[in-house]
Amino acid sequence: MKLKEYEALEKKRIKRNISLMEEGVVFIDLKAAYIDESVKIGRGTVIYPCVVLEGDVVIGEDCVIGQNTRIVDSVIGDGTQVQSSVILQSRVGSDTTVGPFAYLRPNSTIGDGCKVGDFVEVKNSALGDGSKASHLTYIGDSDVGQDVNLGCGVVFVNYDGTSKYRSVVDDGAFIGCNSNLISPVHIGEKAYVAAGSTITEDVPDGALYVARSRGRTLRDWVEKRGILKKKK
């Protein structure tokens, strides 16, 4: 790209941002946001530096789009905050928080009042109103109901090397930390999955599912192996 072409594009971009500001959008740095002509943003929404909005993006009113966020062909509801995350061809409801460092891949739907926290990836899945995945979780090819809690390190194991499968988690369920859901499985309404479990079968409504081997303590094992000398 030649310098004159670049300068013309930059002038057009700044002009676009000024027009959005006149419509009630708040920019932290007017020159550091990259917004396509097709993007629609509601009044009161705050755009931080290094935000990239591409394609058919619709952002509601009173949102916060944090620094280093990229949104492509997606819809964001009113009052939602997105911090340093990537959202592609997905829908996010109102009063929801996304990020930092979350990744919503195509065909994902996040409801109202949800939390998709740091290092959470969602792919071709739905997360119902009020549900939370606060950190370090992968939700793939699954339907998660309302008011579900997904603990740290939960993984929906949707691919067996040949085919992909879909799981369902019903309303009010609680999935403990470090659990693996081997799709396809169905977790019933208000069911509990104990932390550290691997789920390979359906869990009925209101049930507790525990899948752990019993731990053992081998005393003085380190000294007997000669790994460390026992301190006097």
Residue type, 139: I
Q: Tell me which residue of 28, 27, 34, 29 sits closest to 13, measured CA to CA.
A: 34
CA dist list (Å): 171 to 11, 130, 147: 50, 10, 6
Question: Which token pair is 3?
Answer: 């310098």
Residue 98's Cβ-side half-sphere holds a number of Cα atoms within 13 Å equal to 37
Count of CB atoms situated within 10 Å of the CB of 66: 21
Q: Is 135 a catalytic residue?
A: yes
Active-site hit among 94, 135, 180, 187: 135
Cα–Cα distance list, 100 to 57, 72, 92, 104, 176 (Å)? 20, 17, 15, 12, 22
**Tokens 């996040």 — which residue?**
110
Q: Catalytic residues, which ones?
A: 135
